[in-house]
Copies of this chain bind each other. A is one copy, B any other.
């Protein structure tokens, strides 16, 4: 466990830091936090982090400053968090010197995916082992994670992005019951204020598409009345 990548998360909002930490640790990373630019810079120079996650807007030294300063002496991969409103930042996300950027509000799942991708790209040894989890398969359902392709009974079905994310999220823990709240937080993003019935609609479409090829509806996604939904292989 001593070889797990160390990641520094920099954001002035405690809530965000903790959310990100939670998801990173759940994926096996070790995490440090900093809440302003000066602290971040100090820490980034003191320890050989495998990756930095930097909020763009920070009190004092902002994310861009930290990025530039760190870049003077290190080429550690950097992911920048940018606010949704600022179109300019979004378009020029890469020009800030970051290796990737994620727009707030983000879904925690997506951030973790990008962290992994970036670490792999940058040659992090721990990430070089081929990902055994590039495919999930159950009975006649196959989910290719990299290609974002799903096959039922050997026949490809086309899912929208959200449908795919939802399916993968649930399929990674078969049989566990997920509440709508849980799904909205993890698959959508950490501050989705919408209608919980939105989940129902996506579940409906997933069932249609999963069923259309195997001629049996609701084969994989079960309803747990009063609680939520679950992915199940043995109905």
Contacts and interface: CB of A to CB of B under 8 A. Distances in A.
**Copies of this chain, whole number:** 2
A39 B193 CA distance: 32
Interface residues of A, number: 40
Interface string A72-86: 000101000000000
Interface in A191-235: 191-193, 224-227, 230
A140 B140 CA distance: 32
Contacts of A15: 94, 97, 99
Interface of A: 14-15, 17-18, 21-22, 71, 75, 77, 90-92, 94-95, 97, 99, 121-123, 144, 146-149, 160-161, 173, 175-177, 184, 190-193, 224-227, 230
A122 B75 contact: no
A185 B68 CA distance: 22
B193 A177 contact: no
A201 to B, nearest CB: 17
